[in-house]
Structure 1
Amino acid sequence: MWDSPHRFHLVEVSIPAIEQALDHLTQLDLDFLLLPGDLTQHGEPENHAWLADRLSCLPFPAYVIPGNHDIPHAFATDKSIGLKEFPHYYQKFGYSNPDQPYYTCEILPGVRLIGLNSNTFNAEGQQGHTGYLDPEQMAWLQQVLSEATGEVILVMVHHNVLEHLPRQSQNPMGQRYMLSNAPELLTLLRQANAQLLFTGHLHVQDIAQQGNLSEITTGSLVSYPHPYRVLEYRQEQQATTLQIESHHITDVPDFPNLSHHSREWMGDRSRSFMLKLLTQPPLNLPLETAEQYAPSLRYFWADIAKGDSQFYFPEFPPQLNQYFAQFGAITPSGNCEATVPNGAGKPIDNQAVLTLKDLEE
């Protein structure tokens, strides 16, 4: 297990957390399981092999894509796998063509899943700072979407396509979690009337909406608040809806109060992250001033990860408070950041019923 003293992830709970989640999920009448990347901490071949073996024991099919943690280098090393190796580990979980790092399959009658690879590397094999879909993959996707007439389309991609943080695509700290050619992807998805995106990377509970498209990003099982989701898609005469229920791992052996422990763990490691946020654009505060405010932001990222949070710091000047309020589940007008029809003002990051536009409309 690759380790770092500054990691936010409590990777020590990996195995008991996923076992507890899978124990719950196997009690439900599930059609399939989606895992949108970051399956391992640092692409360890032993961990990829373990997960593939564990998923093969489930009573329902599972589908995966690679996250940045899963392929830290383009080429395999003595510690981690490379891009070419990833599909070979997961041939039972979407990659029927193990020579291609993206795939599509009909997972239920009339339901098509598209699993994309947003990891990029330079000529030396070093991982890019943002996500990207290369031209070959985009051309393949355009062809797949053109042939998916009348199907319900589910798209999995690790990096964020819609913004989950204020001006995320413009901020250097937020850009690294986004797909750099998101506008091109969004154009293709709108043309095909695709409405559901499933992403990871940011490790927070958040649902972003833009027009008819909803992007559901889910936090990590190994970091606060240790969430996973159960979704129910219903296509009825009155409306097509997606009900979203979030669940959390609250305790595991050796960590009987996991939620409290992991929130403190994240808070203990937040200072340098908060100093960077305060001193970089758009705030650009002097370091001395930032050091005064940083302690108040100890749980800021943990509360973002939890979802449905609101932020107000009485000790901050109005302009600074206004900035941090934007990160809450509200818009500048005071409404919920994302709303559903007839549900304005209701937080939806963790529990929601999204109303989707009918494909015929």
Structure 2
Amino acid sequence: MTPHLRFAIVSDPHVALPHTVWRSPNRFHLVEVSIPALEQVFDHLSSLELDCVLMPGDLTQHGERENHDWLAQRLAALPFPVYVVPGNHDIIQRQGTDKTVGLSEFFQRYQAFGYDQQPYYLESLKPGIWLVGLNSIAFDPAGEQLYTGYLDQAQLDWLDQTLPQLRGDTVLVMIHHNVLEHLPGQSASTMGQRYMLKNAAALRSRLHSANALLLTGHLHVQDIAEQDGLWEITTGSLVSYPHPYRTVEMVVDEGRSQLSVQTHWVKAVPEWPDLLAHSHQWMSDRALPFMTKLLTSAPLHLEPEQAAQIAPQLKDFWA
């Protein structure tokens, strides 16, 4: 029988219960719509015959325990399996605080969604199709998040042991940070690097011998990239314009995977009837500081005066 998998990708939902929303004039993420948008997506996906839903990180606004609890309970009520990995907004400190979850607590909370006894996992989705969930969130010696994606040696060693056992099968690899570039020169840009896995080459070298497909988030854009035969699908955020999510049909025939990828959008929620127009303006109005920093940082190194002239023309870069 030819393996067939039908799944959805819902990335960077940044769940924020109303009383937890950060009030910041410079905030890019329109987290006010996080829960109604997610509920609309789940309603749609529940009407489909899906094998699973994959969520590649930034599940919550900023690691709040209340928001993680709400999401874990909501996922448990869905009619299909859900698998998650953490994003940089999910585990802020290794040990956590009285209001935010730490590293070990995150994996305990999501044991029904991929995890067992370690912060990475292997799950059989269909005969001959596997899911590898990886953790790209790393911390400094003081336990503060590094805010750059990194795979620790334990995960690399585990991949060295695991991937040879899957040879001939199809492997979906879910990780929050980008492994391939999705913007020109992304890995050479100081701002672009923050969205990429720092030791991406180490992961790519291990995946080239596998029939692997990367699934990432973090960048808040929709893109599919290829490098040396390795493909990566990155999916935008539910709380950023244009509020996308994906459904994917995968058919594996004689070791070759064929995919049909469809994008869907949340265009309106009850209190935001013209969500796309509003969120586009929201992003545009807040873009100037980010674009100025992009222009004045490596590799462009523009003078502030030059950046001040160009940045307003790039206000729709993320929108």
Q: Same fold (TM over 0.5)?
A: yes
* Other-structure match for 1:8: 28
1:101 aligns with 2:119: yes
Aligned to 2:102: 82
Unaligned runs of 5+ in 1: 303-361
1:210 to 222, 227, 241: 227
2:68 alignment partner, one of 48, 55, 62: 48
Q: Report what 2:215 is aligned to.
A: 198
1:127-158 superposed Cα distances (whole Å, 9 cap, x missing partner) = 11311111111101111101112221010011
Instruction: Provide the residue aligned with 1:229 in structure 2.
Output: 246
How is 1:1-361 mapped onto 2 (pairs within 5 angstroms)? 1-3=20-22, 4-97=24-117, 100-194=118-212, 196-236=213-253, 240-302=257-319
Q: Which has the larger radius of gyration?
A: 1
Alpha-carbon distance, 1:278 to partner = 1.9
Q: Which has the higher contact order (CA 8 A, sep 6+)?
A: 2
Shift of 1:117: 0.2
Q: Secondary structure at the match of 1:246?
A: strand
Change (3 A) 1:236 1:135: closer
Classify 1:59/1:186 alpha carbon distance in 2 versus 1 (closer, same or farther; 3 Å).
Answer: same
The separation in 2 between residues aligned to 1:106 and 1:179, in whole angstroms, is: 25
Distance, in Å, in 2 between the alignment partners of 1:2 and 1:102 is 29
For 1:136, what is the secondary structure of its paired residue?
A: helix
Q: Deviations over 1:187-243 (max 9, x none)?
A: 11012232x100011111111111221100101101111000000002347964100
Q: TM-score, normalised by structure 2?
A: 0.91
Tell me, in whole angstroms, the C-alpha distance in 1 between the residues paired with 2:100 and 2:215: 25
Q: Report if the CA contact (8 A) 1:271-1:298 is conserved.
A: yes
Task: Name the count of aligned residue pairs.
Answer: 299
Contact 1:225 1:249 in 2 (8 A): yes
- Contact persistence 2:295–2:307 (CA under 8 A): yes
Provide the C-alpha distance between the structure 2 equivalents of 1:167 and 1:274, rounded to a whole number of angstroms: 15
Q: Contact 2:167–2:211 at 8 Å: present in 1 too?
A: no
In percent, how many aligned pairs have the same letter? 59
User: How far, CA to CA, are the matches of 1:236 and 1:133 in structure 2?
Assistant: 31
Following superposition, the deviation at residue 7 of structure 1 comes to: 1.4
Distance 1:2 1:250 in 2: 21
Query: Structure 2 regions of 5+ residues with no counterpart?
Result: 1-19
In structure 2, what is the equivalent of residue 329 of structure 1? none
2:252 touches 2:258 (CA, 8 Å); kept in 1?
Answer: yes
- Between the aligned partners of 1:169 and 1:237, the Cα distance in structure 2 is 34
* CA apart distance, 1:264: 0.5
Counterpart-to-counterpart distance in 2, 1:180 and 1:298: 28
Root-mean-square deviation (CA, aligned residues, Å) is 1.4
Normalised TM-score (structure 1): 0.80
